Amino acid sequence: MINQDKRKALLAAAQKVRNEAYAPYSGFRVGAAVLSKDGSIVSGINMENSSYGLSVCAERNTLAAAVAQGKHDFEAIAVVSEGGVTPCGACRQVIYDICGDIEIILADTDGTVRKSTTTKALLPDAFGDMDLKKEGA
């Protein structure tokens, strides 16, 4: 678990960026921020599309931005949404694959933490890179 100062900064970043979410169809805005082990924070938002299947969640957008910036080791991710909902199944898998078992902080739009959990708790028996061993290797 990360310390209170890091938690506060991470939540503030996710809460702030949530206002930039592109959600013209559902109106359900989500902001996320990931804390790299080097101390940097990268944030992102959900982006809806009129072809709903092409919409992308804030968690996946945030991790893509972080990786694009050369970040690869993460401590925690914060997600801010109405009600402080948990990541969808696809995001749980991506978080596990990119970050491993990290802290996931879920907060409401006013910054109230609704739940603090881990990747493994949200995705038990996850499929990961260790499952991809090639035959004969």
Number of structural domains (the chain) is 1
Residue 112 lies in a domain: yes
Residue 36 lies in a domain: yes
- The whole-number pLDDT of residue 134 equals 66
**pLDDT exceeds cutoff 60 at 118:** yes
Per residue in 42-93, pLDDT (tens digit) is 999 999 999 999 999 999 999 999 999 999 999 999 999 999 999 999 999 9
Residue 25 lies in a domain: yes
Distance CA(124)–CA(95), nearest Å, equals 13
- The whole-number pLDDT of residue 135 equals 63
Binned at pLDDT 50, 70 and 90, residue 133 comes out as: confident
Catalytic machinery residues: 59
Helix (H, G, I), strand (E, B) or coil at 120: helix
Beta bridge partners of 76: 35, 103
Residue 50 lies in a domain: yes
Q: Is 12 exposed, middle or buried (0-12, 13-18, 19+ CB in 10 A)?
A: middle
- The whole-number pLDDT of residue 130 equals 81
- The whole-number pLDDT of residue 131 equals 86
Taking residues 18-43, report their average pLDDT.
Answer: 98
- pLDDT over 90 percentage in the chain: 91
Residue 137 lies in a domain: no
67: containing domain: 4-132
Residue 23 lies in a domain: yes
Q: Enumerate residues 6+ apart whose C-beta is below 8 A from 111.
A: 11, 12, 15, 80
CATH, residue 35 = 3.40.140.10
Residue 83 lies in a domain: yes
Model-level pTM?
Answer: 0.94
Residue 58 lies in a domain: yes
